[in-house]
Structure formats: C-alpha cells, structure tokens
Structure 1
Amino acid sequence: MAALGSVRERLGELRLEYIVAHRLAEDNRLKEYNAAVAIQSWFRGCQVRAYLRYLHKMVTVIQKWWRGYVARKYFRSKVKTAYFIMKMNFYNEMAVRIQKRWRGYFVRKYVHNYYALKRYLEGVAIKNNIVRKELDKYADIKSREQAKKKMENEEREKEYHARKMHYLLSTEQVPGIYNSPYRPFPDSMEIRLQKARPLSHKDRPMEKPENPDLLYSDCRDAFSFPIMQPLPPIGMKRPQGPFRDTAEVLQQRYKPLEPTLRVATSISSVEEAREELKRQEWRRGVHDKGFAPFSSFHKTKGYDPLIHTSSDYKQISFVTRAEQPEKWVAKKKSIDRGVTFARRLPRSTCGT
C-alpha cells in the first residue's frame, strides 16, 4: 500500500518524465534510425562478404579438382597418342629395314643378277659391234651414192655447157679454142663438143633473176609481171586530213539495204492485190450461188409464207401500261415518271 501511495504521489512527475522521454526519443528517432540502418548494412555486408568468401573458396576447390581431372585426362590422351606414334614409328622403321633386306635380296637374285647382267652387257657389246659395222657399211654406201650423184650432176652440167657452147666446135677450116694447133693433142672439151648435140631454144631452162630484191623484172619474158614486195603495215596513228572515223565508215559500208518503194514493190502487185480481194470476198460469202434478180431462176422456187400469217399463233400487239389502267398498282390519275417516260418512247420499244 505504501508503494502504491508513493506511486500516486509521483504520478505527476512520472507523466513529466514520460513526456520528456517521449520528446527525447522523438528527437533522436531519425538519428537512431540512421544508426540502426548503418549497423544493419555493415552487418549484412560482413555477412554477405563472408558468404561470398565461402563461395569463392568452394568454387576454387571445385575448379581445382575439375581442372586437375581435365588435365590428367588430357595428359593421359597425349601420352596414349605419343605412345601410339612411337609404336608406329618403330613399326615403320622395322618394316623399312625388313623391306630393304628383302628387296635387296629379290633384286640381287631376280632383277639385277650380276651374271645375267654380265651376259647382257656382253650381248650389248656384240650387238654394238654389229650395228657399228652396219652403220659403217650404210655410211660407205651413202657416201658412194652422194659421190655418184655429184659426179652425175657434174657430168650433166658439163654436158649442158657442151651443148650450150657447141658453136665453139672446131671445123675443117678453123680450129676451135679447145683444139689449139700449139698443143700436141686437143682438150677433152673438144671431144665432149664433138659428142654433144647443139642446145635448142626449147631445151633452155628458165633463168631465175640474179637479184631477188629487184622490185620489177627486166620484162624480157613475154609473160613476165612486175614483182613487188608487200607494203609495210600502216601504223595506228591517224592520218592527217578530213577523214571520217573508221567505225562510221564501216557502219555506212555494211548498213542494211533500204530499197525504195519502187524496188520493194513487186511488178505484179496489182494482180496479186486483185486476187487477194477475190479470195477475201469468197471467204466472207455465205454461199457460192450468185444473185440473179432479173433472171427466171427464182420462179421455180415456191413461196415460203411467214409463221405469223400461216399459223394460229398471231403476232402479239404491243400495249403500254398507260393504255391498260386496270393493271396499275395504285389507282391514281396522275402518271408516274416511268409511265411518262414510256409514253414518250415509241410503241415498238415499250413492253407490256
């Protein structure tokens, strides 16, 4: 009870203290809030950084184990490949050695046999001697043929000169130049002249011009023509003067033919036009029977009456709506525009 009484006595003071405390709390509320936010942010930052460090550590461990596994796997594959290459190189080297020994044995026994090669070379030497003898004989024969041909040509030339100079033959009265009286015996040319017959004009060969560079012949032959060398090529430089362009000249030269109307028209164009008109008229005609109005051809043909006059079905008379007021839609004395328009039209164009 005493405590309750003391509290009642201090009730006013407690109210003042509460108001002061509330005011102080309200004054420091923003500052405390900012301080709490700073503390929370720092704490959460520490917590997040610690968690990130943990994650980085775990990731590092995982990467270390994974990279180790991948590196060991790659190393094993490289070792396996290197071992396979080493075995293949060893196999190839041993195969080369075996093939070398075997090929040497096979070639020495079957291909390049020493004794067979020796016999072959001996045969080649014998064949060479035979061929050389044959070639010597052939060369001797060819040289003889050439000498004989040369001798024949010389003899033919001497014979030709003897026939050509037959007028130098000695006579009974006058000795020739080859039969000099101061010699103990005549020259061999004198004997050749005696054996040869004189050369006629037909037997003379055609002489070629001594200088082939002459522009013209000497015109001593009846059928000789001037011998001219080809002209030098024309340079690409355009000649001076009022000359037109080459392309224009060629275009004018090779342009297509443009004949006149007189040249392009046929000489029988009138007759052809008449025939064409006749063909067109015949094609457009309904029948080939000609029309004869003043002849008695149509008198033998009977008269064909019209259907309207020869049957019970007579022609329908055209009656307008204005003439039949019982068929009007509305009983009006006034006539609408359609009826007025129908009245204005002729009866042949108006329907019932």
Structure 2
Amino acid sequence: MSLYLSYGKLLIDQLDLAITQKYEEAERFRRTEHLAACKLQKWWKKILLKLKDRKRTRASTMVLGFMRKVVSTKKVELIENHKKTMKLRKQYGKHVTPLQALWRGYYSRKTIMDFYKRKALLEAVVKKNEETRSHLHKMHNLQLRMERWRRHSYMANARKSIHFLISTRAREGIPENVIEKTAEEAAALKRKKRHTVEPLVIVQPLPSPRRYKNYVPPDDIECFGPFRRKESVIEQKNRPLEPTLRVSTSYNITERERKKDKQESWIKCIQKPMKFATASSKCTNYDRTLWGHTEYNPRDFCNKTIRYESQCKNKLPFISQVPVIPLFDRLGKSYAERSKLIK
C-alpha cells in the first residue's frame, strides 16, 4: 500500500513540474510577442508621423504659393493705380497752371502792388516796432542793473557773515586784530569829553604792512586766530549755544514723506502679518497676499481704499516750525543748562 502511495506522489510531482515548464514556456512566448508588437507599433507610429509631415509640407507650400500670388497681384494693381494717378495729375496740371497764373496776377495787382494805399499802415508799423524795441532795451538794462545790485548785496552780506566767524585754530602771522582798537586807544577815547558823540562803528584805514613786517610776538602770548586777547577767545568758547532751525529742507518734508509712503504702500505691500492661533501653543505667521486681511486694514482692497484720499487731505497743512531737536538727550541735560556743558 505504501508503495502505491509513493508512486502516486511521484506522478503528481512529475505532473506539477511539467505544468510549470509549460507555463514558463508560454510566458516566454508571450514576452517575445509583446516585444515584437511594441516594435511594430513604434514603426507604424513613425510611418504615420512621416505621412503627416508630408501632408503638412504640401499644405504649407500650397498656402505659400497662394499668398505669393495674392501679394504679387496686389503689387501689380498698386503700380497700375499709381501710373493712372500720375497720368491724371499731369493731365490736370496742364489745365490748372493757366488758372493759377491768372489768379497770381490778380492777387499781386490787388494786394502786393497796392503800396500807396498801405503806406500809412507801414509807417505806423515801423513806429510801433521802434517803440517796442526801445522798451525791450530799457527792460534789458534794468534787469542787468538789478542783477548787479543783487550780486553786490549778496557779496556784502557774505563778507559780513564771514568776518564774524569764530576760528579755534591758530593762524600764523596774525597775533592781534589790526582793525579793532588797542587798550591805549580805548582808554584815550574814555578820557575825551562826554559831549562828543562817537559813531557806533569806527572803520579805520588799515595800516601799512611794514608796521608788522619785523614784528615777532612774545613767547608767553599764544596766537588765537583773529582775536586780540586770550580772554576774548575763552569768552567766545564759553558762549551759550544758540541752536537754529535754518535748514535747507522744506517745512513740510515729514508730511510729504508720510503721504508718499502711504501712496506706495499698496504697491510694495508693506503690511504687518497677522498671527492666527492654531492647535499648537505657538502662533505661525500667515502668508498674506494683496487681497488678504491685515491687522491695520481688516477689509479687502476695493475702489474706496486703493489710493483714495479726500480733498481735505490733499491740502497742505500749515506748519509754523520744525519740532524741537533733542540736542542734549544723550547727556541728560536741557537748554537751560547748556552753559555748564562747555568747559
């Protein structure tokens, strides 16, 4: 019994092996047929593409030939029309020339040759031209004189302002001011009679340079620029500050810059990003767009918000002066204590 069972198992194994071999052979045949079919399809697609290219080239050549024919016929028509128009112009010109000559003769006899009738008018025109020319000459001379006067006044004011400038650097060869009075001259003026009225400003002629040619200042006296004494230099150094607001900028520069930034903010999209609370503890920045909401403007952009300003906002506000300049904020001082800062 066991012999028959073993023999049956052997037959079953042989049958399974034969079946697997058949399947493998069938799979191999299927693969070869698939590859052959792919090659045939590729070849057929190439053939179809070549046929389409041939048809396309034939169609394009036909269209180009037709367009060349149309263009050539159009050019021929234009040339023929131009020839016709030129022929008509010559024909009409022969008829129009006598009429033009007749009209020119009539017009010249009527207006140009009528000199005596227009003689009074021509004399009046000449007189008016002379008056206008003289007036323009006077105005030109007046403008030149005004320009010279402005230049002279500007130079005079510049000389005055430059003369009183403070110099903290020692100048070689100018130990004292030759224009101001010396101590002896000032004392002599005080000893004079009181009823004599002295002018406010005494302008004395400059002495000759020979007076100071061989002059050498003593060693104990330092040279302090254009000032006469050391005390005057110290007085100028310790003079209280006088901050000025004379700047070369406009009085409303801040308002104009703010308005310009406001107009360009919608282009640059300079917006503060909104933060939305998510499931996590941290808040992430929201990637906003032009049509999104912002913290400053929660509404969408529309016709009323893009570059919209009323007429009252366009008017320039009146600003009397620039805001106070915080000059001593870094030192913790004020303008009242400015004399203590300079030592």
> Do Structure 1 and Structure 2 share a fold, with TM-score over 0.5?
no
* TM-score for both structures, normalised by structure 2: 0.29
Q: Which has the larger radius of gyration?
A: 1
Higher relative contact order (CA 8 A, sep 6+): 2
After TM superposition, the score normalised by the length of structure 1 is 0.29
